[in-house]
Amino acid sequence: MKGAFQIAKIAGIPVRLHWTFVVMLGWVAIEGRRSGMNWESVGWFAVLMIGVFVCVVLHELGHAFSAKRYGVRTKDIILSPLGGVARLDGLPEKPIDESVVAFAGPLVNILLAGIFGGYGWMTSSIDLSNLGASRLVFGNPENFVTLFLIINIFLSFFNLIPAFPMDGGRIFRSLLSPSLGRRRATLITTYLGQGIAVLLVGLACFLVPPRMSFYLIPLFILSSAFMFFMARQEYRIVEFEEILKRHSILELIRQPINIFNKNDHIAYALEALKTGLEKDFLVKNEDGTIAGVFSQPEILEMAKSIPTSSHKKHFVEEFISPVEEVVYPSDTLHIFYKKLMSQELRILPVFENENLIGVVDIQQLNDFLRVEYEMK
My answer on whether 365 and 264 are in the same domain is: yes
pLDDT at 133: 47
My answer on whether 6 and 138 are in the same domain is: yes
Q: Which of 104, 132, 160 is the last residue of a domain?
A: 160
My answer on whether 12 and 128 are in the same domain is: yes
My answer on whether 8 and 112 are in the same domain is: yes
**230 SS3 class:** helix
My answer on whether 105 and 152 are in the same domain is: yes
Listed in sequence order, the residues at least 6 apart from 263 whose beta carbon sits closer than 8 Å to its beta carbon are 286, 315, 316, 317
Listed in sequence order, the residues at least 6 apart from 315 whose beta carbon sits closer than 8 Å to its beta carbon are 262, 263, 264, 265, 266
Compute the average pLDDT of residues 38-44: 71
My answer on whether 146 and 167 are in the same domain is: no
Distances (CA, A) of 313 to 220, 263, 307, 308: 56, 11, 10, 10
Listed in sequence order, the residues at least 6 apart from 307 whose beta carbon sits closer than 8 Å to its beta carbon are none
Q: Which of 111, 133, 160 is the last residue of a domain?
A: 160
Compute the average pLDDT of residues 284-291: 87
My answer on whether 235 and 306 are in the same domain is: no
Q: Which of 225, 245, 265 is the last residue of a domain?
A: 245
Q: How confident is the model at residue 62 (pLDDT cuts 50, 70, 90)?
A: very high
My answer on whether 133 and 182 are in the same domain is: no
Containing domain of residue 207, as a range?
Answer: 162-245
Cα 229 to its chain centre, rounded Å, is: 15
Compute the average pLDDT of residues 98-109: 92
CATH number at residue 291: 3.10.580.10
In this prediction, what percent of the chain has a pLDDT beyond 90?
A: 19
Compute the average pLDDT of residues 244-256: 91
Torsion angle, alpha carbons of 205, 210, 211, 217, to 10 = 20
My answer on whether 253 and 362 are in the same domain is: yes
My answer on whether 187 and 290 are in the same domain is: no
My answer on whether 101 and 194 are in the same domain is: no
- Say if residue 126's pLDDT is above 80: no
pLDDT at 90: 77
**Number of domains the chain contains:** 3
pLDDT at 231: 81
CA distance 203 to 219: 13
Cα dihedral across residues 211, 214, 215, 217: positive or negative: positive
Q: Each residue of 305-339: pLDDT tens digit?
A: 887 777 777 788 888 889 988 999 999 999 999 88
Task: Decide the pairing of beta strands 280-284 and 259-261.
Answer: parallel
The amino acid sitting at 210 is: P
My answer on whether 60 and 45 are in the same domain is: yes
Q: Each residue of 166-196: pLDDT tens digit?
A: 899 999 999 998 989 888 999 899 888 888 8
